[in-house]
Amino acid sequence: MRTPVTLRFLGMLTRTGWIALALFAAITLVLLPVLHVYVPHDNPLHVSNYVITLGGKIMCYAVVAVAMDLIWGYAGILSLGHGVFFALGGYAFGMYLMRQIGTDGSYHSTLPDFMVFLDWKTLPWYWTGSDSFLWAMFLVLAVPALLAALFGFFAFRSRIRGVYFSIITQALTYAAMLFFFRNETGFGGNNGFTDFRRILGYDITSPEMRSTLFALSSLMLMLTLLLGRWLMTSKFGRVLTAIRDAESRVMFMGYNPLHYKLFIWTLSAMLCAVAGALYVPQVGIINPSEMSTANSIEIAIWAAVGGRGTLIGPVIGAALVNLSKSYFTVAFPDYWLFFLGALFVMVTLWLPEGVVGLWKRIRNRGRA
């Protein structure tokens, strides 16, 4: 007997889950944007630029963390190269943002400033159509998806997994970073893209635009969570966890792990890319250091801190780590790396199931 889709959809989350989601939506989609745009600056209820930008940034990171959870927590594939998909999404949308500057750059040319600086006369072929918003959206999804699908196909087909896979994804993002650092690659070299002016003709720094991007990030995060929940409570999710736990057995039962892994891997890369595209206009810069190996490993720690295989855990983890990063790098700049390093060690040694696991353990002890 098949469950109707609507019932299946509603049954994805518990009653508390739906209420929490609705509450989150009410706060991030309505309350905070309204407080930011319509409440005057001197009012204590006004939400500052800083809060909106930080919040939007963290929600983008949370999407990446959930994408990481989909492949690491559920499929057991630890990617140390997810930064490359995030950055590619950012670059794809950044191209559009660069074109939107128009002739307002320092050289008043129709070309982006860095191309004038390199003495290029025309746009390179791969910038064709970059002034179209729709094409930019298409690139945001298509380029990372293509890279992920190609890379994943070859890697999973030769049954590369575990640490091997982690290390070659690290090599992938490292190679990509070196490639984007070159000025001749045509993406602004080590300065990357910055100095954005507008999106679809609207000022990028206006409170309305900030609020819109903030709300979009929140919407993206909620959709990602729901999509993840939908997938992982379906048969597909069950097969995936089975592959994680005993790949050979799943193969002997007649499933081809390649298709499952490839699908979730590509999906995860695309989610990262969308998060990257939302991230870039909010922070106002994208450069190759987003592809550094350190950044990609940090994504893994967000998921680990929150708790792998829980979907909500990585969101909490991303928020916790990045909030403490914002605090530490201002208050004790010398100690942030000590803290982050200790976090890596402590979570792996004592909190293998993350904050969510800890919470469950405490609750169970209370019941027993």
Partner 1 sequence: MKRFLIALLLCTLPALPARAALDPALVKQLAAEDSDARIAAIQKLGTSGDPDVLKVLKALASDSLMVTPDGRVFLMPEDKAFDAATGAEIDPVPAEYDAITINNRIRSELDNAIAGLRLLNPDRAVRLAAARELQSDPGIELVPVMGKALAKETDAEIRHLLRFALDQANLASPDAKLRLAAVRALGHDASPTTRGLLLPLTDPANEADAAVRQAATASVKAIESRLAIGDTLGQIFTGISLGSILLLAALGLAITYGVMGVINMAHGELLMVGAYAAYFMQGVFRSHLPAYADWYVVAAIPVSFLASALVGMALECTVIRWLYGRPLETLLATWGLSLILIQAARVLFGAQNVEVGNPAWMSGGVEVMAGLVLPWNRIVIIGFTLFVLALVWVLMQKTRLGLFVRAVTQNRAMAGCVGVPTARIDTLAFGLGAGIAGLGGLALSQVANVGPDMGQGYIVDSFMVVVLGGVGQLAGTVWAALGLGVLTKFLEGWTGAVIAKIVVLVIIIVFIQKRPQGLFALKGRFVEN
With binding defined as CB under 8 A, does residue 11 bind partner 1? Answer: no
**Nearest approach, Cβ of 339 to partner 1 (angstroms)?**
9
CB of 239 to partner 1, least distance (A): 21
Count of residues in contact with partner 1, rule CB under 8 A: 43
Please say which residue, 38 or 335, places its beta carbon nearer to partner 1: 335
78 binds partner 1 (CB under 8 A): yes
202 binds partner 1 (CB under 8 A): no
Shortest distance, position 317 Cβ to partner 1, whole Å: 12
Contact indicator for 53, 282 with CB cutoff of 8 Å: yes
**Which of 105/288 has CB closer to partner 1?**
288
Dist. CA 165–CA 266, nearest whole Å: 15
Residue ranges in 316-355 that form contacts with partner 1 under rule CB under 8 A: 334-335, 337-338, 340-345, 347-349, 352
The token pair that represents 82 in the structure block: 């997810």
Among 13, 51, 168, 242, binds partner 1 (CB under 8 A): 168
Q: Is 249 in the site for partner 1 (CB under 8 A)?
A: no
Identify which of residues 166 and 322 has a Cβ nearer to partner 1 in the complex: 166
Cβ nearer to partner 1, comparing 175 with 323: 175
The single residue among 104, 132, 162, 208 that binds partner 1, judged by CB under 8 A, is 162
Q: Which stretch binds partner 1 (CB under 8 A): 114-122, 166-174, 197-205, 357-365?
A: 166-174
CB of 299 to partner 1, least distance (A): 11
Q: Does 27 bind partner 1 (CB under 8 A)?
A: no
Residue type at 15 in one-letter notation: R
Q: Which is nearer to partner 1, 102 or 189 (CB)?
A: 189
Q: Are 270 and 144 in contact (CB under 8 A)?
A: yes
Which residue bears the tokens 């320092």? 106
From the list 176, 145, 7, the residue with the least C-alpha distance to 80 is 176
Closer residue to partner 1 (CB): 9 or 164: 164
Residue type, 47: V
Is 358 a binder of partner 1 (CB under 8 A)?
no
Residue with Cβ nearer partner 1 (73 or 105): 73
**Identity of the residue, 216 or 262, whose beta carbon is nearer to partner 1 in the bound complex:** 262
DSSP 235-298: HHHHHHHHHHH-HHHHHHTT--HHHHHHHHHHHHHHHHHHHHHHHHHHHTEE-GGGGSHHHHHH
Residue 160 binds partner 1 (CB under 8 A): yes
Residue among 27, 35, 70 nearest 275 (CA): 70
Instruction: Please name the amino acid found at residue 297.
Output: I
Q: List, as one string, the DSSP characters of 292-343.
A: SHHHHHHHHHHHHHH-TT-SHHHHHHHHHHHHHHHHHHHH-TTTHHHHHHHH
Question: How distant is the alpha carbon of residue 55 from its chain centre?
Answer: 14
Q: How many CA atoms lie within 13 A of 211 on its CB side?
A: 19
Q: Which of 172, 221, 243, 299 binds partner 1 (CB under 8 A)?
A: 172
Q: Output b/e per residue, 130-148; b: 16+ Cβ within 10 A.
A: bbeeebbeebbbebbbebb
Residue 19: what residue type? I
**Roughly what angle, to the nearest 10 degrees, separates helices 49-68 and 207-233?**
20
User: 182 or 361: whose CB is closer to partner 1?
Assistant: 182
Taking CB under 8 A as the rule, does residue 293 contact partner 1? Answer: yes
Return residues touching partner 1 (CB under 8 A): 78, 80, 154-155, 157-160, 162-164, 166-168, 170-172, 174-175, 178-179, 181-182, 293-294, 297, 300-301, 304, 334-335, 337-338, 340-345, 347-349, 352
